[in-house]
Structure 1
Amino acid sequence: MPLWNRGSSKRAEDFLPDQRRTHKNDEISGMLQNLSLDEKIKFNHNIEVNNNRRRRAHLAHALDPSKEDGSPTASLITIEDNEYQTIRKSPEWWAMKANEQDEKEKELRERERREWEREQVERRQVNRENPDDVEDTSGSQPVPQASKKNSKRAAPFSEEKRTHGQAQPIVFPQYLFVTANAKIHIPLGLFTTKNLKRLCVEGNAIAPKTHRNISSNQKEYILDISKICDAFGITDSKHPTEGLSYVEFMDAATNFYNFQCERDPDGPEGKGYAEFTRKHFEFFQHQTESPELYDFWKKHEFDLRVEKEAHNFGYDEAEYMRRWQIAQRDFAIDKSTKESMALVEAPGMNSFYFQHYMREKKL
């Protein structure tokens, strides 16, 4: 059993009453003392949590006096000797209360995490509204004092449970959405599971770029896609298959679809991004010849995906089928050419047999 802060509600006579947070007069002290043991324990737990928060605020004020002073701490409610014996002699009672306190601690940590995230969102909003005040990543300007504060303290850690036997969910960095919404082309190769994990772990080491949002006319940070692709070895769009094998393409397509679902204003049911992306990739996936024709279809897939972004085209089944027939034709020509070359290079194949073979092919 952990040590309990038994404490006392009595304060020194010269302690100023206006500094007290709980026991401001004898009447309130009496009301608190008449609480049940269970209620006292809960009160003391909450008082300790709030006191710790005030101490952190007071420390922050000492480090940065520009903020308002932290509030004074509150006193614990006195737990009498006979009540303490109840706690000591009743482990079942203590275990039950400890579990309740653990739940409260979890709720408190979750609330503090949400509060921290809210502050981060507000800070980013201020940076967008005042782009000239944002820290210069080039190092040409001195770092503001505010950015140096608490530089040793890591961001709050929120533990996630591992799901055994299942693939772990993919997390898309926030700046990836900002970059896509800025109409910056992101290669499909960045959406393989391997590269998305690398982006989450190593992406912060690659300095972002500043970009002026066309809609809001405000500066914002976006990912430097060119530097990331160079660092990760991602092939540019000039490569016929964007440097992706068939398996890598299927992996990236799944992740890119999930990314578009999160990005779509209407979620997974949205037609602008989610539905188009689903139909775009499903057309190829539903073809029985998709593995064989991948090298011949991939260039059409890239063109159709880019044309959608450039011209806001919707999904056109007839256009996709026309492109697929072109891929089938190119595949047939390539296959026939390779077979012919194999016959020419085969030992013992003379021109008479080769010409006879070619006549049969034409017939």
Structure 2
Amino acid sequence: MPLWNRGSSKRAEDFPPDQRRTHKNDEISGMLQNLSLDEKIKFNHNIEVNNNRRRRAHLAHALDPSKEDGSPTASLITVEDDEYQTIRKSPEWMNKLGTYLGLRFTQWAMKANEQDEKEKELRERERREWEREQVERRQVNRENPDEVEDTSGSQPVSQASKKNSKLAAPFTEEKRTHGQAQPIVFPQYLFVTANAKIHIPLGLFTTKNLKRLRVEGNAIAPKTHRNISSNQKEYILDVSKICDAFGIADSKHPTEGLSYVEFMDAAMNYYNFQCERDPDGPEGKGYAEFTRRHFEFFQHQSESPELYDFWKKHEFDLRVEKEAHNFGYDEAEYMRRWQIAQRDYAIDKSTKESMALVEAHTFVKVKDDYYERL
């Protein structure tokens, strides 16, 4: 983004050291680069204001040599392109820093937002067209199951089937429940996949992604799986492709890509899902009760919001260990893991507080040094 110079904003090495106004040496350059994003923006705003004053003085001197010449302009602190993108996409950042960024940034942000909106509309049109084609193909399969050999659409369809391709599936009206959220209906193939011992990321169980799965799931070809018990082939979700399409983080992400609020939402849906697949229903100990106690342990902790980032990796491990080894709920093990999360949180908090004190001291020192030389 050509708002300010890219790359290092430090003057060339042959620039007179006594005339440097911002990046006086490598130590100060490092301190400036370690400033927070909002402090960099505010610093650059002040530099621009003073540079404009110097340019006006230089112009006045050029027009009338009797007037005092302006001093050399100061170089700006480098702000990376991805940092500008962060500000543009965050209303909170825009409100906080818009005044300091000025008209050029606002104009660029408006054009970039318009381009994003066009790309979003294009993707939405492509998605709707794809869904329409899938609906037509499924209707053909239902009307003429014996004449359609390949449900993926790679095999030709008979002329008799094509005659019915415009007919939609039979419509069964569902009553809207006013004053409360519509109940989540889990697709049948989600149960088949879970029963095949295929790990399903918790991120797929957010309300948003479950709705997407019902609407867009058929656009992603399923995988075949041989049921160990019946020795019959069955279709299961291609979990990897769905996660890629929906932008669901894998298990390597420390929180599976879920915020605290998204985690709580997914936990409730996951519990309801386990209640439905438990042979003994909501009272079943194998799936329903374990899942309830698993999530309630964290939810009942008074520090749960603050410790979420530190507990989430333990939550994932405990949930996966249950799937892999059929472990039951072990209160002592959960408490042991919770104490580890508390310890990690305390260490992280102490480290951040120490760093904040160092940064505050550094900022005051750099700012005082900077204004002394203006």
TM-score bucket of the superposed structures, by smaller chain = 0.5 to 0.7
TM-score (norm 2): 0.56
Contact 2:227–2:233 (8 Å) recurs in 1: yes
- Structural RMSD (CA): 30.9
Matched position secondary structure for 2:146: helix
Provide the C-alpha distance between the structure 2 equivalents of 1:126 and 1:236, rounded to a whole number of angstroms.
36
TM-score in terms of structure 1 length: 0.57
Does the 8 Å CA contact 1:113/1:156 hold for their aligned counterparts?
no
Quickly say closer, same or farther: Cα 1:39–1:103, change in 2 above 3 A. Answer: farther
Identity of aligned residues (%): 94
- Residues 272 and 109 of structure 1, relative CA distance in 2, 3 Å threshold: farther
Residues 204 and 283 of structure 1, relative CA distance in 2, 3 Å threshold: same
Asked if structure 2 preserves the Cα contact closer than 8 Å seen for 1:137 and 1:207, the reply is no
Q: Is 337-346 or 73-82 further displaced after alignment?
A: 73-82
Q: Is the 8 A contact 2:148 2:155 kept in 1?
A: no
Choose 1 or 2 for highest CA Rg: 1
CA drift at 1:179: 0.7
State the distance in 2 between where 1:138 and 1:156 align. Answer: 22
Alpha-carbon spacing, 1:325–1:96, altered in 2? closer, same or farther (3 Å): closer
- Change over 3 Å in CA distance of 1:183–1:126 after alignment to 2: farther
Do the aligned partners of 1:180 and 1:186 also contact (CA within 8 Å) in 2? yes
Looking at structure 1, the residues matched to 304 and 35 of structure 2 have their Cα atoms a distance apart, in angstroms, of 73
**Paired position in structure 1 for 2:328:** 314
Which 5+ residue runs of structure 1 have no aligned equivalent? none
Note if contact 2:140-2:161 (Cα within 8 Å) is conserved in structure 1: no
Q: After TM superposition, give the deviation of residue 152 of structure 1 in Å.
A: 3.5
Query: What residue in structure 2 maps to residue 351 of structure 1?
Result: 362
Residue 356 of structure 1 aligns to a residue in which SS? helix
Cα 1:241–1:169 change in 2 (3 A) is: same
Segment drifting more, 79-88 vs 187-196: 79-88
Query: Deviations 1:2-56 (Å, cap 9, x if unpaired)?
Result: 9999999999999999999999999999999999999999999999999999999
Q: Between Structure 1 and Structure 2, how many residues are aligned? A: 356
Task: Say which of 313, 333, 344 aligns to 1:299.
Answer: 313
Post-superposition shift, 1:317?
A: 0.3
Q: CA deviation at 1:214?
A: 1.4
Given that 1:61 and 1:69 are in contact with CA atoms closer than 8 Å, whether structure 2 keeps it comes out as yes
Change (3 A) 1:345 1:35: closer
User: Whole-Å Cα distance in 2 between the matches of residues 126 and 66 of structure 1?
Assistant: 89
**Does 2:92 align with 1:92?**
yes
Partner SS, residue 210 of structure 1: strand
1:95, CA displacement in angstroms? 63
Distance 2:369 2:26 in 1: 115
Would you say the 8 A contact 1:135–1:144 is kept in 2? no
* Gap change, CA 1:3 and 1:189, over 3 Å in 2: closer
Once the two structures are superposed, the pairs formed by residues 1-363 of structure 1 within 5 Å of their partners are 135-139=149-153, 141-143=155-157, 150-346=164-360
- Identify the range of structure 1 (116-125 vs 148-157) with the bigger mean alpha-carbon deviation: 116-125
Maintained 8 Å contact 1:9/1:29 = no
Contact 1:241 1:298 in 2 (8 A): yes
- SS across alignment from 1:154: coil
CA distance in 2, matches of 1:308, 1:33: 46
- Are residues 132 and 54 of structure 1, via their aligned partners in 2, closer, same or farther at CA, if it must alter by over 3 Å? farther
3-state SS in 1 of match to 2:11? coil
Q: 1:269 to 1:249 in 2, by over 3 A?
A: same
Equivalents in 2 of 1:282, 1:169: separation in Å?
21
Secondary structure of the 1:55 match is helix
Alpha carbons 1:260, 1:273 under 8 Å: kept: yes
